[in-house]
Amino acid sequence: MSRLFRTATVAALILSALAAPAWAAQKRMVTYDSASPAAKRLTGAGLTFVFTKSMLRTRILAVRATAVPVGVLPRVSTDGSVNRKLDALMGDDAGEGTLYEIDPKAAEGKVMIQAFCPGSKSGWLSVGTIAHMRDLRVHAFGDDPATGEPRLCAVMDFSFRGEWRMPGPINDGVTDRVFRPDYGRPGS
C-alpha cells in the first residue's frame, strides 16, 4: 500500500469521525397512528417521537400524544435490575425495544404514567425500532401499587404515518417548541 494512499485513508477516516457527531445530533420527528385497540384507547390518534439517529442507535428525546398536548421527555433506563424485570415481562418481545424511564416530575410524566398504568407512580416504555415505513410496538409499564414491582400495563401497536420536517433550525430548542400547547397552530 502506498504511503499516499494510507495518508489519504487516515485523513478520510478522521474527517468522517469529525463529521459524524454533527450528523448524529440531527433531531428528527416521526408520527405513528394507533393500530391496536390498546393504542387507540390509551393514545387516541397515536404517538409522535422526537429523536436522534446515528449509525448505531436511536435515542428518543420526546414522546407526545399526537392529538392532545400531553408528552414526556423520557430518559434511557439504566437500572439493570429493573430492566431485566421489564424485559422478562415482554415475553416474545423481550430484547426488542429500548427501555425508557418516564420521570413523573418532568413535563406531563405523571399524567402519561396514569394514562398508561392507573395507580402507578413510576413508569417505563419499551419502544421498538423507529424506521421509515415500519410499524412500531410500544410496551408500557408501571409499578404495582401493592408491591412496588414493575408490571406490564399495555402492549400498543402503531402504524407508520410519516416523518415530519422539524420546525425552525434543527438544533434550536425544538423539544421546547414541540411541547408548547400551541404547537402546530398557525403563527406558532
Q: What is the pTM of this model?
A: 0.76
- Which of 49, 147, 157, 140 minimizes the C-alpha distance to 99? 140
Instruction: Please determine, for residue 182, whether its predicted confidence score (pLDDT) is greater than 90.
Output: no
**Does 71 or 152 have the greater pLDDT score?**
152
CA 120/CA 126 separation, integer angstroms: 16
> Domain spans of the chain?
26-178
**So what's the pLDDT on residue 139?**
97
State the pLDDT confidence band at 105, using cuts at 50, 70 and 90. confident
**So what's the pLDDT on residue 27?**
83
**Does 39 or 21 have the greater pLDDT score?**
39
**So what's the pLDDT on residue 53?**
82
Instruction: Please determine, for residue 183, whether its predicted confidence score (pLDDT) is greater than 60.
Output: no
Tens-digit pLDDT profile for residues 117-162: 999 999 999 999 898 899 999 999 999 999 999 999 999 999 999 9
Instruction: Please determine, for residue 13, whether its predicted confidence score (pLDDT) is greater than 70.
Output: no
Tens-digit pLDDT profile for residues 22-58: 444 578 899 999 999 999 999 999 999 999 887 777 8
**So what's the pLDDT on residue 181?**
56
- DSSP per residue over the chain, as a string? --HHHHHHHHHHHHHHHHHHHHHHT-EEEEEEEE-SHHHHHHHTTEEEEEEEE-SS-EEEEEEEESSSS-EE--EE---HHHHHHHHHHTGGGTTSSEEEEE-TTSTTHHHHHHHHSTT-S-EEEEE----TT--EEEEEEEE-TTT--EEEEEEEEEEEEEEEPPSSSTTSSHHHHHTSTTTTSTT-
- Dihedral, 62, 66, 69, 71 alpha carbons, nearest 10: -20
